[in-house]
Amino acid sequence: MPELLFEIFCEEIPARLQRKAARDLKEAVTGALIENGLMFEDAAGFVTPRRMTVAVFGIPVRSPDTREVRKGPRVGAPEKAVAGFLRAAGLNSISDAQIESDPRKGDYYTAVLEKKGQSALEILQKVLPDTIRNFSWGKPMNWGSSSVKWVRPIRSIAASFGASNEEPETVAFEIDGVRSGQTSFGHRFMAPGKIPARRFEEYVEALEGARVVLDLDRRMDIVAQDAGQLAFANGLELVEDKGLLEEVAGLVEWPVTMLGAFEESFLELPEEVIIATIKSNQKCFCLRDRETKRLANRFVLVSNMVAEDGGKAIVAGNERVIRARLADAMFFYHNDLKRPLENNLEQLKAAVFHQKLGSQADRVARIGELAARFAPMVGADPALVARAALLSKADLASEMVVEFTDLQGLMGRYYALAQGEDGAVADAIEMHYKPVGPSDRVPEQPVAIAVALADKLDMLSGFWSINEKPTGSRDPFALRRAALGVIRIILENGLSFPLDVSPDLLGFFHDRLKVLLRESGVAHDLVDALLTPNSNDLLEIQRRVEALSGLLKTEAGKSLLAGYRRGANILAAEEKKSGTSFDGKVNIDLLEGEEEKALAEAVETARTLAESALEANDYGAAVAALAELRQPVDAFFEHVLVNDPDPEKRRNRLNLLARLRQTMHLVADFSRIEG
């Protein structure tokens, strides 16, 4: 079956957009083919800095003929209904419709819509230009007189369609003066001439010959392997950075790795500063000594060409730029060290955090108040907490953080230690921002925990107070991340205390906790069964979920849940029938069989134990008390007829089931458990 080769060749696509763009283009092309009845066998998308390519395999030569019978209004229906049917069916008059009969509904109109299939080539001639015109880039631009918005100017389009044993045809169309064809271009510098773009395998081979590696992931592998080998040969190892690896692979079509160096004197800088400088300015990889693990004065750069001089000029150029940037960083660092962190606080008054929430200085004051409340809860020294909160944002006014915003907190830690602050204060300045992602570590020291919780809760409470809450996928202030950070700090440090926040914000925490627990394998219905609008101790919620989950994984728990459901269903049916609820008041004198009496006694025993355990905040013991109900519940349903002919006995037994339901609901709302 035929294949499609489709390439859009343009000026350099920003590296950060490439992977998503390749995926989106493939989905747009294949989605359009499916909509037009062309079901293919396989498809792949590729991207380099100068091209986006889609290959689709196993496309039929024509779309199938279709026949649809569309049902219309009944015969004799109002004129408007008939007219609407004619328009929708594309009929000129009602005489073109057919009449069908239904024994129950009578006669009604139908329209038989038959559509002949189209050749795949005709479909592609419409689909491909539409894909280009409608493609979403986020912030596309018009280039020159072009009417098509694209991320960079389009230079050529290749669109070839045909079977492997036939001469492929050009999918002919034109976009702003650029006509589609069957040619592409090689590497900008090393092989800029035309290459054939007719069949996918030949196209990939021609690109390789023209110094272009089409697959982004393969370019990443080449960079990682070559850079690793180069480092190893020099007794070094790469400082791993997956984000930088993808970015670099998105900057080159033919990756060539080289080794550069800078003066050892720059190693006086904190290693994070060196890494940030070299990464940010030159997109190069830093290296460590393989034995000592200390940062080395070497780096790996990735070039987009094989240089005639072996890369000497390229390396020298990168070394020159890196030397200048590290000299700037050294200047900033030394200037910052001369000025105590506390001297930066005045500048925070002019730094706006948010128009409605005040300056960074205002925020520091609020963090201090909150952190003071958390100090005794987490066992932190109040004086150290107060000092850490005061200096928590001071490095935002430092020259280094102004230059490299990602180093906020970290530089504050270095400066705090240099000026003799307590280690716990320095640790809190760095760690109060964390965690910033699901794999990031959380603060573990009490002072850092207090300030981190205060920082995140101030963010959440502040934006909640001005009604700037996350909506759908929109979360410009990263409030979901802040809430997850609070939850992780509490859970991973085993902290038990009530969150004193608004009911609406507490509900937001509940939603984030559900997400976190679900990702760890906990069923969402277990969380729902335990949560109430007032549940504000997150660690206790987690412990209860674990205890309840443990019960329901046992045979006793499964059997008890089944018994609960059976009883709840009987109660629901009888309550609906009578229009009243059963109050759970059991008349002991009306109990007859041993099984009935045993259940009544077991329910009261379980209730007493559960209430006592919950009062002592021992949820595990409360769950264990319920587990003892399994046998008497099973025996009751096996030997006792609930709906006894005697009304008094029936009502008493229904009250017993209501008492069982009430007792189990002390521990969790079992009606919300699905499994």
Contact 433, 451 (CB under 8 A): no
CA dihedral 627, 630, 636, 637 (to 10 degrees): 130
In the predicted structure, residue 145 carries a pLDDT above the cut 80: no
Contact 433, 453 (CB under 8 A): no
User: Does a structural domain hold residue 412?
Assistant: no
Q: Are residues 99 and 232 in the same domain?
A: no
Q: Are residues 147 and 32 in the same domain?
A: yes
Q: How many CB atoms lie within 10 A of CB 182?
A: 21
How large is the average pLDDT for residues 432-450? 95
Q: Which of 291, 323, 338 is the last residue of a domain?
A: 338
Q: Which of 184, 209, 234 is the last residue of a domain?
A: 209
Residues in the chain: 675
Domain count, the chain: 4
Q: Are residues 202 and 223 in the same domain?
A: no
Q: How confident is the model at residue 501 (pLDDT cuts 50, 70, 90)?
A: very high
Q: Are residues 123 and 242 in the same domain?
A: no
Q: Are residues 158 and 247 in the same domain?
A: no
User: Does a structural domain hold residue 435?
Assistant: no
Tell me if residue 92 falls in helix, strand or coil.
Answer: coil
User: Does a structural domain hold residue 308?
Assistant: yes
Beta bridge partners of 377: none
Amino acid at 498: P
Which position has the higher pLDDT, 509 or 112? 509
Q: Are residues 201 and 243 in the same domain?
A: no
The domain in which residue 95 lies consists of: 66-115
Q: Integer distance in angstroms from the first to the last C-alpha of the chain?
A: 47
Q: What is the 3-class SS of 105-122, one letter each residue?
A: CEEEEEEEEEECCCEHHH
- How large a percentage of the chain has pLDDT more than 90? 78
Q: Are residues 226 and 98 in the same domain?
A: no
Q: Which two tokens stand for residue 513?
A: 């906790």
The pLDDT of residue 661: 93
Q: Are residues 183 and 157 in the same domain?
A: yes
Q: Are residues 154 and 90 in the same domain?
A: no
How far apart CA 33 and CA 161 sit, in angstroms, is 13
User: Does a structural domain hold residue 182?
Assistant: yes
Q: Are residues 321 and 250 in the same domain?
A: yes
Contact 131, 123 (CB under 8 A): no
Amino acid at 217: D
In the predicted structure, residue 411 carries a pLDDT above the cut 90: yes
Q: Which of 159, 191, 209 is the last residue of a domain?
A: 209
Q: Are residues 111 and 137 in the same domain?
A: no
User: What CATH number does residue 137 fall under?
Assistant: 3.30.70
Q: How confident is the model at residue 675 (pLDDT cuts 50, 70, 90)?
A: low
Q: Are residues 53 and 91 in the same domain?
A: no
User: What CATH number does residue 662 fall under?
Assistant: 1.10.730.10
In the predicted structure, residue 589 carries a pLDDT above the cut 80: yes
User: Does a structural domain hold residue 621?
Assistant: yes
Q: How confident is the model at residue 298 (pLDDT cuts 50, 70, 90)?
A: very high
In the predicted structure, residue 138 carries a pLDDT above the cut 80: no
User: Does a structural domain hold residue 178?
Assistant: yes
The pLDDT of residue 526: 87
The pLDDT of residue 530: 87
Query: How does the average pLDDT of the chain come out, rounded?
Result: 93
User: Does a structural domain hold residue 187?
Assistant: yes
Provide the total of helices (H) and of strands (E) in the chain, helices listed first: 24, 18
User: Does a structural domain hold residue 531?
Assistant: no
Nearest partner of 150 among 160, 139, 164, judged by Cα:
139
- 509 contacts: CB under 8 Å, gap ≥ 6: 483, 486, 487, 499, 501, 538
